[in-house]
Structure 1
Amino acid sequence: MMHILLSRWRQGHRTLPYPKEIPALSERFQGLPNIQAERCKAGCEACVEACPTEAIRLGAGGPELDLGRCVFCPACVEACPEGAIAFTGDHRLATRTREDLILAPGADLRRAEALGGELKRLLGRSLKLRVVSAGGCNGCEVDVNVLGTLAWDLGRFGIQYVASPRHADGLLITGPVTRNMELAVRKTYDAVPGPKIVIAVGACAIQGGPYYKRDEQLGGASSVLPVDLFIPGCPPHPLTILDGLLRLIGRLEDEGRRIS
């Protein structure tokens, strides 16, 4: 027993100080894209042709990037001869609506806002989520589960994953919602007592991800249920997921400080 206590003392405090401090992210981290339309060549569609999920289209002001479709690969960056597209280290990607994920040149991303009224009062201090893997590759599932580990300690924010939908306040869905999972997703949602919320995590759960052309999937959670929070990525970083969850329940300000 003494060896165990001594080892624990040597380890010290392991929980990350987030949101008071932002953890250091890898230089390879692909965060919020930055589009510099003024660099684009007229008639050039290199980024559009390179994108594997059709996340880029040419608008009147230049390339528009759909974060809901984007798998955050560097294909568009490598294809652009003028360097008009780059990924930043900004992890704050979650939005409340699907339309807000369309990133136009020169426009700021409208980040997720807190639930309003009665929902915020009910869920702002205690949020229980039933995680549903609806046909994903387990990439998003892994990063969702990481939030329950010692370093992240999701429970300190009053957020917990629960085993039964009857104990939940909402669903956290990963995967593109395959046809084989459609009925299970609907039944799980129906089993959650109201009022309830739905959170779509990852490109698959938002729009089908790399599988968007496959007939075996339905194109994300919105095709089956009303979604209250969209968290893009393939997979999203745990920090991106946590940022979205805390914004949804009103526990973060724009500068990242925790609201008491």
Structure 2
Amino acid sequence: MDTQTLPDNVLTTQLKKVVNWARRSSLWPMPFATACCGIELMATASSRYDLARFGAEAMRFSPRQSDLMIVAGRVTVKMMPVLQHIYQQMTEPKWVISMGACASTGGVFDTYSTVQGIDQFMPVDVYVPGCPPRPETLIEGIMAIQRIIDEDGLPKGPRRPLQLAVEPSYVPTPQPAGIPITIGGRPLSV
């Protein structure tokens, strides 16, 4: 029986595996660093931690050239429309890492002006815990993104945020009534 065999210099694979391998090996992060987590984000690109080993060293500051957003640090209510606009300008498929306690849950800043988790306004793929997280933890988060890319297959379309409204949890205390204010012993009339 005569069977046809492939020549020695031919490699066969599935198209989605090749596309995902290329996509996972060339992540282009868009950093959105606002606080102390930003310093740890910068440290991951240093020679000690060498983010280039994972193909994610090309930090892009243009959203149209990025496919991985790393939100590191506090996000205020005034910043959120800018962050959403940057996210919308990124190319599909895109992924988001929420780095640190402040980006994930608001951290210790339980105030009316701090967003208590960016996942209320955009989809988040990986949460990197810590205050601030160490560079090794961020690298583990990037490796988790690479595992997600390997499992996903070809992209199916744009993802939608949860579109939840953030209500402030801060309730100001009322001013005390009936306490006279004096300046130099004379009452102050308001």
Question: What are the Cα deviations for residues 48-105 of structure 1, in whole angstroms up to 9, with x where unaligned?
Answer: xxxxxxxxxxxxxxxxxxxxxxxxxxxxxxxxxxxxxxxxxxxxxxxxxxxxxxxxxx
Counterpart position of 1:190 = 88
Q: Identity percentage over the alignment?
A: 30
Q: For 2:132, give the aligned amino acid.
A: P
Counterpart position of 2:23 = 123
Given that 2:66 and 2:90 are in contact with CA atoms closer than 8 Å, whether structure 1 keeps it comes out as: yes
Counterpart position of 1:86 = none
Counterpart position of 1:149 = 46
The CA RMSD measured in Å over matched residues stands at 2.2
Equivalent positions of 1:189-228 (< 5 A) are: 189-211=87-109, 213-228=110-125
Counterparts of 1:236 and 1:192, CA distance in 2? 25
Question: What are the Cα deviations for residues 174-205 of structure 1, in whole angstroms up to 9, with x where unaligned?
Answer: 22320110111011001101111111000001
Q: Which ranges of structure 2 fall in alignment gaps of 5 or more residues?
A: 1-15, 149-190
The TM-score normalised by the length of structure 1 is 0.47
The TM-score normalised by the length of structure 2 is 0.64
Given that 1:123 and 1:169 are in contact with CA atoms closer than 8 Å, whether structure 2 keeps it comes out as: no
Q: 1:121 to 1:184 in 2, by over 3 A?
A: same
1:235 aligns with 2:132: yes
Deviation of 1:121 after TM superposition, in Å, equals 4.2
Counterparts of 1:170 and 1:118, CA distance in 2? 19
Counterparts of 1:240 and 1:120, CA distance in 2? 23
Q: For 2:48, give the aligned amino acid.
A: A
Q: Which ranges of structure 1 fall in alignment gaps of 5 or more residues?
A: 1-115, 252-260
Aligned length: 132
Counterparts of 1:117 and 1:205, CA distance in 2? 32
Deviation of 1:117 after TM superposition, in Å, equals 7.8
The match for 2:62 among 164, 167, 170 is: 164
Larger radius of gyration: 2
Q: 1:171 to 1:118 in 2, by over 3 A?
A: farther
